[in-house]
Structure 1
Amino acid sequence: MSESDGIVTIDTGYQRTAFCAAYLVVEAGRAAFVDSGTSRSVPQLLAALDARGLPRDAVDWVILTHVHLDHAGGAGGLMRELPNATLVVHPRGAPHMIDPERLSASARAVYGDEEFERSYGALLPVPAGRVVAATDGQVVELAGRKLACVHTPGHAMHHLSVWDARARSWFSGDVFGISYREFDTARGPFVIPTSSPVQFDPEAMKASVRRMLAEAPAQVYLTHFGGVSDCQRLGADLIAQVDAMVALARSLTQAPDRHARLLEGLRALYVERARRHGIKDAARRIPELLGMDIELNAQGLAVWLDRARRDATPGSG
């Protein structure tokens, strides 16, 4: 765990070390969590409170950037440990936290029961009276520290990011991309967008990134993984990569082997950018560490491309 400006980075232990983070914000003896990790992550989050001598009833808020299970799967279990906390989530995500059955069923269908239990554990409901569906820009206060919940679609329609004015920092969930510390060089962090299925929207993602950059943040705290600075460079890089990914997908509209060629094209795009960033042995390390992300990005691009084609077809609505 690391700490800066009252912000504690917690490794949730999902998949591997330094892959998935949740955050604890501490102000004048009060606390808020941003994202919860999976149900398997709850002990790590509670340990972060214990390490700072904070009782469970000092937590006022659990704020979710979105309800994908690596971010929100542990929310119900965590809330059961925090008697004073209120859960804050995008309005589209709130019903899934109150009744997580559909989330659980869809994830089990994708991963199978054994992998679901290994990676995520039980999804527990949050009582409706303890859930706030945050409007765009809604502010919650933590001992006077303002945390603004800003709707930032692009990765998912139910995505929000949290602006911490005191620290001049964003908690970005997945909309500001992923940046693993293994790829840091003298040039700084290396970042790629995440277009994972099924709600990727490139124009919305670029607009969200620009909205975040307009605040001139000092730091952006990514779920995958940790805080990054040099935010203007990273944001411009994300926007350029989204455009390159969209161009790749459109070039493969009629390809019979589209998925394989999307994977190949994304690997080539990220390897070339990694080489320019000074990452050594990029041709091996990019597929090794980004293999799952490349697969999900390819799937998300394909879903977006098919949706865009349907929307452009007269009478398709």
Structure 2
Amino acid sequence: MEKPIELGYNISLIDLFDLGMNQRTGSYVFHEEELTIIETSASPSLPHLLNGLEEMKIALKKIKYIIVTHIHLDHAGGVGLLLQKCPNAKVVVHQKGYRHLSNPSRLIEGAKAVYGEKFDELFDPILPIPEENLIIKEDGDTLELSEGRTLTFMDTPGHAKHHFSIFDSKSNGVFTGDTVGVYYPQLLLDGVELYLPSTSPNQFSPEAMLQSAKRIEDYGVDRIYFGHYGMSENPDEVFDQLRHWLPKFVEAGKTVIETNPELSFQEKSQLISEKLFDLVSRFLDTKNVSRDAVVYEILNLDLSVCAMGITDYLSKQTLNK
């Protein structure tokens, strides 16, 4: 079991070993008067979260808020199960995610359609949250955790319409979920900083993503706290890489679809995934990163999901013409 990482400013990071991978998804813990957690991952990650809290000697009855940046299962799938163990906690969610946490039947149905027989292993259980335990935060709303620490919520679509990001006044940082992408800290050992856009289906919008990123950038933050995975103190590089990679991802999708219009959704997505993998791996080759590096396992997964989101987005663009 890995110990929680202390990030300063009374914030800790717990590795949740999402999908059995380390440095994949994390929970952030605020050690404040109103003890608060951001993100839970899916239910199978809950033992890692509980172990991390126990390591820090945090009693579950002291947890006041559990915040999810959006309702995708790798961020919020375990929140219902966690809530059962936290008798005094409320769950904070975007207004567009509220009803899906109250009644997760559509989340479950969608996940089963994608993951089939693997659903139980990856996500089960996904439990409903009583409405009296849910708090909606809209754009500009705040949450005071202690004197001197206020969280400010901002509506940041692009990855998903039910996504907010959270500005932390004390550390001058933003918890961005998936809005400004995914961070691969495994590559720091190779001297490489890599941030890639997260273009998951089915609400991906590159235009909205760039607008949301600009809004976060305009805060002049010192830190970005990613859902996947960890913290960066180089926000300028984060935003520069998003603006670099996002058009390349979309262009790769356009090339595949324009060349192969007769293919099925799955076939288009597979070709786009291969094209994205080639783009990223060629970049890593220039940085002398081995093709056997552990990061490639995560990249394969991420880029296949990104490809599905790009296929979905471009298909909708075609229908709307």
TM-score (norm 2): 0.90
Q: Give the aligned partner of residue 172 of structure 2.
A: 168
State the distance in 1 between where 2:292 and 2:136 align: 44
Q: Which amino acid aligns with 2:240?
A: A
Q: Give the aligned partner of residue 280 of structure 2.
A: 270
Look up the SS of the partner of 1:92 in the other structure.
coil
Look up the SS of the partner of 1:227 in the other structure.
strand
1:45 paired to 2:49: yes
Change (3 A) 1:286 1:58: closer
Look up the SS of the partner of 1:184 in the other structure.
helix
Change (3 A) 1:195 1:162: same
Cα offsets for 1:141-186 (capped at 9, x unmatched):
1123211121111111111111111011111111121122221257
Pick from 132, 142, 145: which aligns with 1:139?
Answer: 142
Unpaired runs of at least 5, structure 1 = 313-317
Matches within 5 A, 1:259-298: 259-276=269-286, 278-282=287-291, 287-298=296-307
State the distance in 2 between where 1:266 and 1:49 align: 37
Change (3 A) 1:259 1:188: closer
Matches within 5 A, 1:200-279: 200-256=204-260, 258-276=268-286, 278-279=287-288
Cα offsets for 1:268-299 (capped at 9, x unmatched):
221233244x2422597665441111111111
Matches within 5 A, 1:37-116: 37-113=41-117, 115-116=118-119
Q: Give the aligned partner of residue 182 of structure 2.
A: 178
Look up the SS of the partner of 1:105 in the other structure.
helix
Change (3 A) 1:185 1:266: same
1:23 paired to 2:32: no
State percent identity of aligned pairs: 29
TM-score (norm 1): 0.91
Q: Give the aligned partner of residue 315 of structure 1.
A: none
Cα offsets for 1:168-216 (capped at 9, x unmatched):
1111111121122221257552111111111110011111111111112
User: Deviation at 1:248?
Assistant: 2.1
Moved over 3 A (4+): 185-188, 257-261, 282-289
Look up the SS of the partner of 2:65 in the other structure.
strand
Q: Give the aligned partner of residue 35 of structure 1.
A: 39
Question: Size of the alignment, in residue pairs?
Answer: 309
Unpaired runs of at least 5, structure 2 = none
State the distance in 2 between where 1:215 and 1:155 align: 20
Look up the SS of the partner of 2:175 in the other structure.
strand
Pick from 120, 123, 135: which aligns with 2:123?
Answer: 120
State the distance in 2 between where 1:268 and 1:240 align: 16
1:310 paired to 2:319: yes
Considering only aligned residues, what root-mean-square deviation do their CA atoms show, in Å?
1.9
Q: Which amino acid aligns with 2:27?
A: A
Q: Is the CA contact 1:189–1:228 (under 8 Å) kept in the aligned structure 2?
A: no
Look up the SS of the partner of 1:252 in the other structure.
helix
Look up the SS of the partner of 1:253 in the other structure.
helix
Q: Which amino acid aligns with 1:126?
A: I
Q: Which amino acid aligns with 1:135?
A: E
Look up the SS of the partner of 1:306 in the other structure.
helix
